[in-house]
A and B are shown apart, each in its own frame.
Chain A
Amino acid sequence: MDDNEIVQLFRDRNEAALSVTEKKHGRRCRTVAENILGNREDAEECVNEAYMKLWELIPPHCPEALGAFLCRIVRNTAINVLKARNAGKRGRGTAAVAFEELEECIPDKSSVEHIYENKELLAAVNKFLRQSSIESRRIFVLRYWYCCDLSEIAERFGTRKNTVSVILNRTRKRLRKYLEEEGYEL
């Protein structure tokens, strides 16, 4: 069943929508949640909560990419869980390492609070990713959106972990340079 048909099930308030969604997108959702939370049980709860939210959001929403839409809910839910339990003090999971790496891309560390509110920054990141090579874009998103660890990404690309690490390192540097060129005071 394609995503449009699943969305229609939601709009019809047909509860089968949830099981079909789980079958089609469940694995990806659990991957995102577990990557961020580093805990299978919490991830499971997070995904279930996301399904509830999805049920509430459609309608009125009518997402074009159901998988990405759902994963975004999962991601945001997981981030909230992470904040709630202050996971930063509980060791260096994949998410913590990703945060650390992303520090490099932030132009002006003192003004992040300000630019965070600025949608232009997000637009610039989107533009940067569209201009990047397909490998760089995919690897960046898998790392910093899906929070995949390096080994998992390397396996997807059939290459070595070190190669992925180098590509990420270069992409971060390019992103920083790009943001500078876009006028962010870095």
Chain B
Amino acid sequence: MNKNDNKNGKEFFELLSDLDEDIVEGAWEEKGGMITTIDRRGPMNIVREIAAAAAAVCVLTVGIFAVMKFHTTQSAEPNESNKTSSEIISSNNSVSLTESVVVNNPEPTKESGFFSFSIEGRDDLYYGISGEIYNSDWENPAVVKITYGSLSPTRRVYLCVTGDANWPEDHIMTDVVMVDSITGCKLTYNDDYGETLPVYLLAMTGDDGVGFEGYWVP
């Protein structure tokens, strides 16, 4: 069968005509089931908000990073380990994805409540980045921490959660957050639907458009 003609899809679409009437009626009329807890700020809204402020917004997350500090004994720059943690929201005008790099070591470390990852980087942009994703449960924000490697001082890396590994940029589910090379970043994501399917971590750079994605285990 020629896949391009979507014959099966058409037939299935026709078949659906005979769905139970109460289901059909309910989908149109029901008022319940509104999605209320997903963060509704899209990346572009954030960009606009931040552009107006002309500065990154810093939010203290001392409690979270007290935990992080405990785990980050391999910090690339130990002399900066006392810096205040911050969440920096993207202020870049355009974030692009042109290349994917597989994140290694996606297995969670159950004992510690986080799992580590490393990225085979491009030497001209970054080198040997590794880090940890703290994700003890879905009700709390996940924290991504880059603990080793080098980012260009002028290089911005953004992270977000996406629901689809094949078309990650079309399924971004959270804010796009800029990674601070010292303190990492915080991504807020609540899975309202109790799904067990994986979501993916997507990283992007705004300059030369290098992206990578990682596996995020719920």
Contact = CB atoms under 8 A, between A and B. Distances in A.
B162 to A, nearest CB: 8
Contact of B15 (A71, A103, A116, A167): A116
Given A102-B13, A103-B9, A125-B16, A157 B21 contact: no
A19 interface: no
Nearest to B22: A65
A96 B4 CA distance: 11
Interface residues of B, number: 45
A100 B17 CA distance: 17
A20 B22 CA distance: 21
B208 to A, nearest CB: 24
A113 interface: yes
Interface residues of A, number: 58
B30 interface: yes
Given A98-B13, A162-B171, A122 B27 contact: no
A163 B21 contact: no
Given A158-B40, A160-B42, A68 B193 contact: no
Contact of B33 (A68, A109, A125, A138): A138
26 contacts: A28-B28, A67-B25, A88-B10, A99-B6, A102-B8, A102-B12, A106-B12, A112-B11, A116-B12, A122-B18, A125-B15, A125-B16, A126-B20, A134-B33, A136-B193, A137-B26, A141-B19, A141-B26, A142-B27, A145-B19, A162-B170, A162-B171, A162-B172, A165-B170, A166-B171, A170-B197
The 10 closest A-B pairs by CB, nearest first: A99-B9, A134-B33, A141-B27, A166-B163, A68-B21, A99-B6, A102-B9, A65-B21, A68-B24, A68-B25
